[in-house]
Amino acid sequence: MQHTLIALVENKPGVLNRVASLFRRRNFNIESLNVGQTEKPEISRMTIVMDSDAQDARKVEVNLYKLVNVIDVQDVTNQPAVLRDLALIKVKATPEQRAEIANLVSIFRARIVDVAPDSVIVEITGTEDKIESLLELLRPVGILEMVRTGKVAMMRGSATGVRYAPGANGHNHEEVVTGF
């Protein structure tokens, strides 16, 4: 089963390497990893998707807390959360095929973001299933290249998915956010 973890980390050099090394040392595979800045420039948010059972996901969560630059970790697998993935897909397209491809991608609320003489680039955002469905329909046309971001996750409703706890993991953050 896939487990989705959200980790808040200090936005400093080497943090990503330490997190990846933890997975390597414990022999866990990362299915996808997305890292980006949060609303606080000094904090980054990692969305980590791993294929494991609940016990192994819990081990990873506990071990992530041991890393000095990790502020908070949550397993949001069974929580009410919005999960999205972004894909850019370069598809073979003659001028005659462009209208057909445009109609196809519009069904998925995707869009064409670049047109070249012999190809188009399609951008799609959504669940993994939605992206896989579009890919299945584009394969016969001819996928030339593809890149995906991996999942990003955010808690639904007033729960922020962010817990800045004073003194947590040796850190002194000024804000405490509840909702968990």
CATH fold for the domain made of 2-80+156-170: Alpha-Beta Plaits (3.30.70)
Q: Which residue has the tokens 């804000």?
A: 175
Residue ranges of domains in the chain: 2-80+156-170, 82-148
Tell me the average confidence (pLDDT) per consecutive run of 10 residues in the chain, 180 residues long.
92 92 88 93 94 88 90 91 95 94 96 97 96 97 96 82 48 36
In this prediction, residue 171 carries a pLDDT of 46
In this prediction, residue 52 carries a pLDDT of 87
Q: What CATH superfamily is the domain 82-148?
A: ACT-like. Chain A, domain 2 (3.30.70.1150)
Fold match between domain 2-80+156-170 and domain 82-148: yes
In this prediction, residue 54 carries a pLDDT of 87
pTM of the model: 0.77
In this prediction, residue 27 carries a pLDDT of 86
